[in-house]
A and B are shown apart, each in its own frame.
Chain A
Amino acid sequence: MTLAHEASRAPETGKLPRRPQTKRPSRRAAESRAGYAFLAPWLLGFIALTAGPMIASLYLAFTNYHPIRGGEWIGFDNFTRLIDDPRFMDSVEVTLTYAVVGTPIKLAAALGVAMLLNNRRRGKGPYRSMFYAPSLIGASVSIAIVWKAMFNDEGIIDDMGAFFGTWNGGWVGDPGKTMPMMILLAAWQFGAPMVIFLAGLKQIPGELYEAAEVDGAGAWRKFTRITLPMLSPVLFFNLVLETIHSFQIFGSAFIISGGRGGPANSTLFYTLYLYQRGFGQGQLGYAAAMAWLLVIVVGIITLIFFRTSRYWVHYSGEGR
């Protein structure tokens, strides 16, 4: 049941048992036809609204396309230009900071609250709803506006800082404080991973804890030796999801900085810069190149997660 045990587990072997030959292929064909018919609305939407535009944007990435002037094929010029673009580097730095610092904080908050709510106490229902609520409204425009107002000069956070004498002035105008503010906004919306954690916690058999208690394990030991390993698939799922999510942050940054990524590029997230280049300056080719680079990088990061997962993610039922 330990991580060490996991590392040495055998690679997946064996094939699926061969299916018996069906006698009536026509019925299967009819079934799959029906299946595709039911799929059709989604499939059409996917092709027209997702796959088509994606292919188009891949083409645009190799052109200097401008929404008004049009453009021509320029090969890899957009990608080479990215390397020399100081704002591009700024945006990469901002986004990485946000993902690397923000995601663990958000997941830790989600797990912490999920464990508190997992206790069998009275009246935990309302608490669950209350903690989940921010993630329902958090992505909305109004919350970003409220957030901005809270962190402005003479906003409530400024007043609190003045009361405790810890800081002066709002956070919105200070390039050094906008990132903590954005991370707080993200961490506050821990509801979705919290619910998933909660479901995961419910799956852990109580006997494990009872057995550990008999052996004299303390709370911390139970957490590291039982909760974390048993929860690792859920943790993995949340980690992948939230990481991808954090790379895509746009709405709140757009509203808080008025679409400019300011002050001083401190909220110039990757997607925001992409938007500025593509739609503000009309360099759609350049923006498309940025978009595809993001897809590739997020893909690689996800792949790394999956590759490393075999060393730390424990699926119960395996190795039996």
Chain B
Amino acid sequence: MSIRKTAMSGLALALAGSLALTACGGSDSDSGEGGGDITLNFTWWGADERAQRYEAAIDLFEEANPNITVQTSFAEFQDYWTQRSTDATSGELPDVMQMDVSRLLEYANQGLLYDMSEFTDGGSLDVSQIDEELLSSGEANEQLVAVPTGTNTLALMYNPDLLAELGIDPPEWDYTWEEYNDFIAEVSAAGADMDPQVYGGGDYTMTWWLFMANLIQQGIEPFAENGEMNFTEDDLRDWINTAEPIRSPEDVTFPAERGEQLLPKSGFTSNEAAAEFHWDNFLHSYSTDLGSENIQLLPLPSGPDGQKHAFFKPTMQLAMGANSEHPEEAAQLIDFLINDPEAGQIIGTDLGIPASSGRLDALDVEEGSLDQRIIEFEQRLRDEGNATATVPFQPEGFGALETEYVEVLGQEFSFRQIDVDEFVERFFSEAENLLVTS
């Protein structure tokens, strides 16, 4: 009898407890609407480093707008898109979210993004300080569905300390792809006796955007307006074979097995690879991961005509879910994030070189800082006449194709499960399923 009694009272207690908890949850969300307060959801992809910047900027925003609370969340790039596509299915996209040109059409063509033009004509969203061509990257179907935060460009990051230790000079500004192969081989040979072993860099042909850049260097616009591919199987095969000299007879690229174990860091940020290609704004998170600010930037190797054909890409964009219940306030938040000088000082060049010219001018760049390094790097690209190309058109399905290239085929190739021909064949057969053509 007594056992039963205890059990009953235990059950009752648990029930009461769970009721109380539900009540808490309920009142929490209710008070948001009742008191005239507004809660905005804001999500982005990126590392901790970016989260700290955003959070600090949002604290300022909330201070200036006491009636608005911003709920934030962030994820790694691939997971981020998995979450957003689930949100889209249930009509619950965040009020404000980071958007990428590679996915923009996928969302915009289905009317999932809010047309922000109603706020730009003297409204709460000021886009007048953004270069018109750059701003047009956020337009789709004659609507303004995304606002660029800034620009970035592909770069070679190298670790001068590690190179000095090995006694090897970094590549010259006008180096070629062949010279880069030689550089990797040289570093890997010199670093073979180090513990842990040091390599020049990874197999760069498994990076999707470098393939894009390489096509552009050959004068090939990767995708047509109707979503068709403008490159052939031979183009892809040739590109992958560019790195053949460093894969055989001896593989001197950073081993995939090691890379797997270092995740989420890379070989470069673990001080085990001397160089890596990436977007220049990654300098910030890379420097945090590496624990050293001494990372230098170089452009991509030159194409067959000796030119760089570099392009500036909208680093990322900010967009609003069409389902947002507070579009006015969401636009206000975007305006704050791209224009406010104080927020700009916090964000720096982590989201690319600021798109808003006013913010860029107001940016107080410290001598020798990472911000300065990125700004000077992009300036030199312009000064040297390297930035002659435009961002490639990214059709609907571009992002999924990139994932297939990097995460699936790139992995299998790096682990030597498939050869170049299988890579090419499977890429083109998957592209049929992933690209949306008209």
Contact = CB atoms under 8 A, between A and B. Distances in A.
Contacts of A264: 256, 411-412, 414-415, 417
A152 B261 contact: yes
Contacts of A233: none
Interface string A173-212: 1110000000000000000000000000000000000000
A246 to B, nearest CB: 24
Given A265-B412, A281-B434, A174 B257 contact: yes
A121 to B, nearest CB: 28
Interface in B407-437: 407-408, 411-412, 414-415, 417, 426, 429, 433-434, 436
B157 interface: no
A27 interface: no
Interface residues of A, number: 28
Interface stretch (A94-102, A215-223, A254-262, A303-311): A254-262
B3 interface: no
Contacts of B79: 259
A259 B412 contact: no
A83 interface: no
Contacts of B259: 173
B400 A262 contact: no
Contacts of A281: 400, 403-404, 434
A16 interface: no
A56 B433 CA distance: 22
Contact of A69 (B78, B110, B257, B412): B110
Nearest to A264: B415
B415 A282 contact: no
Interface string A275-313: 000011111000000000000000000000000000000
Interface in A63-92: 67-70, 81, 84, 86-87
A279 B415 contact: no
Contact of B426 (A86, A175, A258, A262): A86
A280 B82 contact: yes
A81 B430 CA distance: 11
A265 B79 CA distance: 18
A170 B106 CA distance: 40
B436 A87 contact: no
A258 B76 CA distance: 11
Contact of B107 (A68, A87, A172): A68
Nearest to A281: B400
A260 B260 CA distance: 11
B420 to A, nearest CB: 15
B326 interface: no
A68 B412 contact: no
Nearest to B107: A68
A68 B110 contact: yes
A67 B400 contact: no
A282 B85 contact: yes
A169 B106 CA distance: 43
B258 interface: yes
B230 interface: no
A170 B261 contact: yes
Contact of A262 (B82, B106, B411): B411
Contacts of A93: none
B260 A279 contact: no
Contacts of A70: 110
A6 interface: no
B400 A282 contact: yes
B263 interface: yes
Nearest to B112: A68
Interface in B34-85: 78-79, 81-82, 85
Interface in A141-158: 152-153
Interface of B: 78-79, 81-82, 85-86, 88-89, 106-107, 109-110, 112, 256-261, 263-264, 400, 403-404, 407-408, 411-412, 414-415, 417, 426, 429, 433-434, 436
12 contacts: A67-B86, A68-B85, A69-B106, A69-B110, A172-B261, A174-B257, A259-B78, A262-B411, A263-B415, A281-B403, A282-B85, A283-B433
Given A68-B89, A260-B407, 20 more contacts: A68-B88, A68-B106, A68-B107, A152-B261, A169-B257, A173-B258, A173-B259, A173-B260, A175-B257, A175-B415, A260-B411, A264-B411, A264-B412, A264-B415, A264-B417, A265-B417, A279-B86, A280-B78, A281-B400, A283-B433
Interface of A: 67-70, 81, 84, 86-87, 152-153, 169-170, 172-175, 258-260, 262-265, 279-283
Task: Identify the 7 closest CB pairs spanning chains A and B, nearest first.
Answer: A264-B415, A173-B260, A173-B261, A67-B89, A173-B257, A263-B260, A67-B85
